[in-house]
Structure 1
């Protein structure tokens, strides 16, 4: 039998690229990881790793063994799901949540899951999806903007929660009446590299101008405060407005765009009772939201 921990670490190395990244994700020391991988190499009898610059890369044999490890881990997780239907587990349900869901969907979901220990981390969907595939989360929430599809990861199963309208938000006293009239306004947006930022900039360019982005924040509550105070304008999804009381004026965009809000779970974890229950609770919470 090959070293199960070594197989897990080889799989993590294939996912994350460096021993330092694996060490940070699993809270192991780099020396412990290197020792386990060397032990696995001795057990397998072939070189699994080769030097590359200051780091290591997987050899062709290493890639093959890492794929085997991924299948082994998926089968183990699927078995845990089967066992959990017979004898519920006390293991925590780990969820990567969208920031816009933290004040709306997440509290309703927790109300519907009193028998589970649920751990929620609000994190960008780019990070949440990757870490869910890697095994750090059981379920991730993410969004996809019109015309800006996210990569479909082969190991993840998606379920649509709903479609969320996006509108231009301006202060109550603003004279802006359409997107094209916001060319002179100060804008607030999410950071560079996010799907929301890229989509918003594209909408502005399609309207004939380059936005003057003066404010940047991941927290959409901060966006809403700046907009309500008259210091900025921004494109805001309806989910961000559901639990807010800021005085804003919302302006429809051409084509009435909506973002898709979805959950993603590993194929081997989607049958886990906790994952099924969380998905059902989130879908119910989304359906119960007031129309914004």
Structure 2
């Protein structure tokens, strides 16, 4: 029995899996760029000695935390490999990796501008955070045959290899994350009520779609569902309405870090104490739960697709 009342508390993590790989077999983007390869079809941003990767991601604004974290991690990893002499690629050549990052502040128009201004100088765009921002330049990247790989969005469109071999997602799809949580509730066998707050775009819709499919035909019932805009300064009005339901579970499909923190604080102020679902990118104990003064044992669930160094589960893990 996982939940038998609104006051029940639970804690868990659904592990999805983790992978990070950079592979290059042909090294050719046929657009007559200034690369120094010897195959006649060399691409911008790559020579026999170096490859340049570009990142457009939020380095300022409400989502600057995960944006800067991603860039810092990539720069640190590639810097270490460069110090070791570089990375051997599929064509047999060893290259160092230069990482260039530009701020889009989670603004789709800025992301598109970053792509337009820099696509001629990089081999590929990678690791950018955000569904609307990555979507903003996806069509242009396909048209110019610029790889857009390991992007930080669970939008399944970036893993549709049949439509475009130039895109490759990194994180699990939003539908899969939402479904994992829905399945967990369904497996409890309890009759549960759920209130939903989701971002009014493909990000939020994906989470909700996966969740609803997983609970269909079970004792889990959605009693109220509201949305918010990524540009909203507050979601207090929505939280007040959702708290009135006294739902057992709060399915919170939000990507804006300050809003997630303020949501946890607001529900506490309202006296509503549901169990929570938080998406993988807004569930950090350090960036989210700590600032919100939330106790993980008060019923916060999320999914994980990477080994977090601060997690006790990985304290003795060789990779960590």
Same fold (TM over 0.5): no
Task: Say which one has the larger Rg.
Answer: 1
Report the TM-score, using the length of structure 2 for normalisation.
0.40
Higher helix share: 1
Q: Relative contact order: is structure 1 or structure 2 higher (C-alpha 8 Å, sep ≥ 6)?
A: 1
